Amino acid sequence: MKLTTRIDNWELNDPFVTAVESITHIRTLTVTLEEGGYIGRGEALGVDYLGEDADSMAAQIAAVSKEIQPGTSREALQSLLPRGGARNALDCALWDLESRRRHCRAWELAGQSVRPVTTVYTLSLDSAGNMAREAALHRHFPVLKLKLDGRDTAEKLRAVRAARADAELVIDGNGSWSPDLLDELAGPLLECRVAMLEQPLPAGEDAVLEGLDYPVTLCADESCQDSSDLERMASRYGMVNIKLDKCGGLTEGLRMVERCRERGLAMMVGNMLGSSLAMAPAFLVAQHCRFTDLDGPLWQKTDRRQPIRYQNAEMQPPSRELWG
C-alpha cells in the first residue's frame, strides 16, 4: 500500500472569529492511500487547542507509515494512533479505499442509508449590529449558530433574534463563560428561544454542571473528545458534539453514535473547518444527529474539485468522485 501526505492551504472568505481566536486561512492534511489500482483519501485540520496542526499530523503519520500495510484494517488503526487529526485522516482514507474496492458507498459499508441534512450556519463573534446583519443576510439558513463570549452576550443574542424571528438559534461559548454568567444568561436564553448552548464553560472546569437543571440543553464540545469521555458527560450535558478530528475518524465517530444512544445523549456533528473532503465522512454521522454543523466549505474561497453541493442550508450526500 502506498501512503502519501500533502498539506493544503485554504483561504477563508471572511475571518472566522470565536471567543478564543480569529482565523483567516487554514492548513489541512490530505492523506492518500493507493492499493491495487484503487485510491482512498482523507482530510484533517487537527485539534488546534491540543497543539495539533498539519505539520504535527504529518509527522505522526510518518512515524507509523511502515505499519500501514495492505490489509491494514480500520480497527487496527485505532490502536496504532491516538485519537486526533492524524488518525482521522488515515481512518477516512481507509473507508474511502474500502468502498472503492468493494464498489459500494461508504454508508453502505456502515450499514446505513443517507438523506440530505440541514446544516447550521455559523455567525462569527462580532458586534450586535454586525451579527444581526449577518443573520438577516443568511435568511435561507433555518438554524444559526452564534459564537458568543462573555461580552454583551444578551445584547448580541437579542439583536440576532430580532433580525431572525424565524430561526432556530444555538450558541457556542467555546469555553469562555463563567458559572456566574451561565446563571445570569438563563433568562435571556429562554426569552430568545435558544435551542442549545454549546460548551459554555472551559473544558476541565465544568464539574459545576453535574446534575444541573438548566433551562436550555447543554452540549459538550471541547469537554468530550471520544467515547471514553461519554460516561462523564452524561451527568453534565444533554448533548455531545462529535467531531472526527477530535475522536480520530469515522470509525470512532460511529462508535460514539452508538454509545451516545446507550446513554440517552443527543448528538450534534461538527467540524474544525475544512474542505468538502473533511465534511464527507462526517455526513454519515450527521444522519443520527439533532444538529448538523458542517458549513466549513461555505467559509472557504475555494474547495475540492468535486465539492459537496449545498442547496442553501441543505447539504447533499457527497459524490463518489469526492469520497466514499
Q: Are residues 153 and 273 in the same domain?
A: yes
> What is the signed CA dihedral for 225, 231, 234, 236, rounded to 10 degrees?
-70
Tens digit of each residue's pLDDT (9 = 90 or more) over 172-213: 999 999 999 999 999 999 999 999 999 999 999 999 999 999
Q: Are residues 138 and 81 in the same domain?
A: no
Q: Which CATH number fits the domain that encloses residue 147?
A: 3.20.20.120
In this prediction, residues 131-135 reach a mean pLDDT of: 98
Q: Are residues 95 and 158 in the same domain?
A: no
In this prediction, residues 92-109 reach a mean pLDDT of: 98
The percent of residues in the chain predicted with pLDDT above 90, rounded, is 97
323 inside domain: no
239-249 exposure pattern, b = at least 16 Cβ within 10 A, e = fewer = bbbbbbbbbbb
Q: Are residues 141 and 34 in the same domain?
A: no
Q: Are residues 262 and 175 in the same domain?
A: yes
74 inside domain: yes
Residue ranges making up the domain that contains 223: 117-315
- In the chain, how many domains are there? 2
The model's confidence at residue 20, banded by pLDDT at 50, 70 and 90, is: confident
111 inside domain: no
In degrees rounded to 5, what are phi and psi of residue 6?
-145, 140
Residue 126 is placed in which grid cell?
462580532
Catalytic entry in 145, 156, 243, 246: 243
Domain boundary among 40, 70, 104: 104
Chain centroid offset of residue 297 CA? 12
321 inside domain: no
Q: Are residues 205 and 297 in the same domain?
A: yes
> What's residue 21's pLDDT?
87
Catalytic entry in 145, 147, 156, 246: 147
- Active-site residue flag, 147: yes
- Give me the sheet containing 291-292, strands edge to edge: 121-123, 143-147, 168-172, 194-198, 217-220, 239-242, 266-269, 291-292
Q: Which CATH number fits the domain that encloses residue 29?
A: 3.30.390.10
Tens digit of each residue's pLDDT (9 = 90 or more) over 251-306: 999 999 999 999 999 999 999 999 999 999 999 999 999 999 999 999 999 999 99
In degrees rounded to 5, what are phi and psi of residue 159?
-65, -45
